[in-house]
Chain A
Amino acid sequence: MLQGEKAEAEKQNDVARRSANEAAADAELAAALARTREAEQAVAIQNKNLEKLRQEAARGIPVATPNE
């Protein structure tokens, strides 16, 4: 392979490697954000359920089962 072609190939490899690294960082961030969103939604649902439970307990209504 000519010197110029070799240099060009290396340059393209370098670009591809950097693109792949950026894509991997994007994917990890997207996955982490999705997990965080899911956990925060679970907290929001739990807060609603707890509020309902507190109100029921205050009114003396027997409360729901533990594994809701």
Chain B
Amino acid sequence: MRTGLVTAAVFGAAVLGACAEQPLNTQTLEQARAEVQSFSNNPRASEIASREFAASRGSLSRAEDALKEKKQEEVDTYSYIALRQAKTGEARIAEQAAREQLARGNGERDRIMLEARNAQLEAQNKLAAQQTARGMVLTLSGVLFDTGKATLKPGASPTLDRVSGYLAQYPNTRLMVEGYTDSQGSQATNEQLSQARAEAVADALVLRGVPRGRIDTVGHGPELPVASNDTAAGRQQNRRVEMVFSDDAGRFAEGAKGVNR
């Protein structure tokens, strides 16, 4: 009897001792501690994710309290919530960083476009072309052709060099070369002559490396004079070749033909 009582007492004490010493599972809590610590160490946490910053620390604190009170379920719940709140805060910081990068990218894009536009304007200025309603127009006039001839004189070379350089720089730009004559001679002859003069300019550009497919030619004869045909000086101005540049997409303005309107 006595032996039985002693045995029961020893067994009971062992069971009680085992219950009292059984530790709580803190695996989730440890993850939460590490995550909240890492999140709190982020210098932007309190600035960008202040709500998650406070909430995750609060949840972790409640999990620690539950641990002291040995409430396993509450330890797990608050640890789980703290872990997710910290991860949410980190995601919020990453999102903000991406949005800031987007804003910087927009600035960079604007800068590149402005520089490209400025470079184009500078190139146009070097070309010394006129900006008109039908686009950029460069006129070759003066003594570039002998009367009745379509052979281009060497005086045109510097201008043609500039034009070919510009076209090399802007490969989407096309060129319309328009030939004009004065009013002397027959209409048919003048039309042929103006076409031949436009072709001569196109050939000179091709020799400078401009693909022929980017150049259109047309002869307008004595149409659209820019000066009076009653004087020699006026007729010389009317014997001209105009080069019309397309826009950036290779398109010409509607009704591009004619003087610099």
A and B associate:
yes
List residues of chain A with CB under 8 Å of any chain B CB: 15, 18, 21-22, 25-26, 28-29, 32-33, 35-36, 39-40, 42-43, 46-47, 49-50, 53-54, 56-57, 59-63, 66
- By the criterion CB–CB under 8 Å, are B170 and A60 in contact? yes
- By the criterion CB–CB under 8 Å, are A54 and B112 in contact? yes
- By the criterion CB–CB under 8 Å, are B77 and A21 in contact? yes
B218 shortest CB reach to chain A, Å: 25
Main secondary structure of the interface of A (DSSP, over half): helix
Given A36-B95, A62-B172, A63-B113, A29 and B102 contact (CB-CB distance below 8 Å): no
A27 shortest CB reach to chain B, Å: 9
Does B110 count as interface, using CB distance less than 8 angstroms? yes
A41 shortest CB reach to chain B, Å: 9
Point out the residue from A21, A25, A29, A49 that lies within 8 Å of B109, measured CB to CB.
A49
- Which chain A residues border B248 with CB–CB below 8 Å? 62
- Which of B19-27, B80-88, B189-197, B209-217 contacts the other chain? B80-88
- By the criterion CB–CB under 8 Å, are B170 and A62 in contact? yes
Point out the residue from A15, A42, A66 that lies within 8 Å of B102, measured CB to CB.
A42
List residues of chain B with CB under 8 Å of any chain A CB: 73-74, 77, 80-81, 84-85, 87-88, 91-92, 94-95, 98-99, 101-102, 105-106, 108-110, 112-113, 115-117, 119-120, 123, 169-172, 248
Alpha-carbon distance A28/B82, docked complex (angstroms): 12
A–B Cβ pairs within 8 angstroms, 9 of them:
A25-B80, A25-B85, A26-B84, A29-B84, A39-B99, A53-B109, A59-B171, A60-B169, A62-B248
